């Protein structure tokens, strides 16, 4: 976008203010890497539990699955930073990224990104061909379908981006059980439905920044009321999905249902909220806690099946 390029040219790179390590971690979006590794591990662990395979005897699959997934996500995130370096200066939370400040030049970022993706894919294919193929699907959906295509052109960009965010548990599961099972697809659907309300809440908080950057996020194009309705609809869609994991037992179903009821309650309150941004912040925080509690619960309850 022209706005991004104009602002980018006026930014003074403050390269000395941050460490190389901090900038490297920002380049690969370490927070996204870590959060996706949680869902990858859940897919791996549930596959072991559901298939009866020995966890201890297959530690190689665990290592290949986790390290391989971490590498391809890190590489894809670096490519995303490179693609977005013209619009990142507009947004407060992204204007200090090393691809904006000039700490890391484009050729170096490209080399690092493709090296990480290649190494990650080698590890995933070592776990199983299915894990490797799902890894490639994840890279393609994030880098091409989301970053290069839908993010700047379509209001449905968040939904498109949710595809890549839902693939890590499939990679983890495929490392153990290449044919996948109902449990794997349940994890995929839960992750897919969770992301729009999570990111719509974030987008509401950053609406003006997205508007200035020219990114057609739902709150920018349709407004807050339409966004609230979409959040509510996606949470309703999410409500029955934990029942696909009924093998985890009634305790898990009760917990998941309680979390969903709580999220629906807070979503409904948004229609009468006096402070939309404060409400969006509380919804964003709830969504983070929701996913953490739900996926940790999956692992715990799976031990007792």
- Residue 90 binned pLDDT confidence (cut-offs 50, 70, 90): confident
CATH code of the domain made up of 6-180: 1.10.357.140
Q: With a cut of 80, say whether residue 302 has pLDDT above it.
A: yes
pLDDT digit string, tens, across residues 4-62: 332 223 333 344 446 899 999 999 999 999 999 999 999 999 999 999 998 888 999 99
pLDDT of residue 18: 61
- Residue 295 binned pLDDT confidence (cut-offs 50, 70, 90): very high
pLDDT of residue 4: 35
Token look-up 């349709």 returns 222
Q: List the chain domain ranges.
A: 6-180, 183-305
What are φ and ψ of residue 265, in 5° steps?
-60, -50
Read off the pLDDT of each residue in 106-134 and give the average, rounded to a whole number. 97
pLDDT of residue 69: 98
Alpha carbon distance 46, 185 (integer Å): 12
Read off the pLDDT of each residue in 244-268 and give the average, rounded to a whole number. 97
Closest CA to 216 of 149, 277, 144, 125: 149
Quick one: 264 exposed, middle or buried, by C-beta within 10 A (0-12, 13-18, 19+)? middle
Alpha carbon distance 305, 295 (integer Å): 16
Q: With a cut of 80, say whether residue 173 has pLDDT above it.
A: yes
- Count other Cβ atoms within 10 Å, centred on residue 187: 28
Q: With a cut of 90, say whether residue 68 has pLDDT above it.
A: yes
Alpha carbon distance 123, 23 (integer Å): 26
Q: With a cut of 60, say whether residue 157 has pLDDT above it.
A: yes
Closest CA to 23 of 100, 75, 91, 92: 100
8's tokens: 């980018």
Read off the pLDDT of each residue in 238-247 and give the average, rounded to a whole number. 97
pLDDT of residue 12: 34
pLDDT of residue 14: 42
């Amino acid at each position: 976008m022209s706005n991004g390029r104009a602002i980018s040219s006026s930014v003074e790179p403050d390269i000395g203010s941050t460490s190389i390590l901090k900038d490297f971690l920002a380049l690969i979006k370490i927070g996204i890497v870590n959060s996706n590794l949680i869902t990858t591990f859940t897919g791996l662990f549930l596959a072991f539990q559901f298939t009866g395979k020995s966890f201890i005897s297959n530690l190689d699959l665990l290592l290949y699955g986790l390290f391989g997934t971490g590498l391809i996500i890190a590489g894809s995130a670096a490519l995303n930073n490179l693609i977005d370096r013209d619009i990142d200066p507009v947004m407060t939370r992204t204007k200090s990224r090393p691809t904006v400040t000039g700490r890391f030049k484009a050729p170096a970022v490209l080399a690092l990104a493709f090296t990480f993706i290649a190494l990650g894919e080698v590890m995933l294919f070592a776990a199983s061909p299915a894990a490797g193929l799902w890894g490639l699907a994840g890279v393609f959906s994030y880098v091409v379908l989301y970053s290069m295509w839908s993010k700047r052109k379509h209001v449905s960009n968040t939904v498109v981006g949710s595809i890549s965010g839902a693939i890590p548990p499939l990679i983890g599961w495929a490392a153990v059980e290449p044919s996948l099972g109902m449990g794997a697809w349940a994890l995929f659907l839960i992750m897919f439905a969770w992301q729009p309300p999570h990111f719509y809440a974030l987008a509401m908080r950053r609406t003006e920044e997205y508007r200035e950057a020219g990114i057609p996020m739902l709150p920018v194009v349709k407004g807050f009321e339409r966004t609230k309705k979409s959040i509510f609809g996606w949470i309703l869609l999410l409500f029955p999905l934990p029942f696909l994991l009924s093998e985890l037992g009634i305790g898990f179903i009760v917990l998941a249902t309680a979390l969903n009821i709580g999220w629906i309650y807070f979503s409904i309150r948004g229609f009468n909220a006096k402070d939309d941004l404060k409400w969006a912040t509380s919804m964003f925080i709830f969504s983070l806690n929701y996913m953490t509690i739900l996926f940790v619960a999956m692992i715990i309850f799976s031990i007792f099946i």
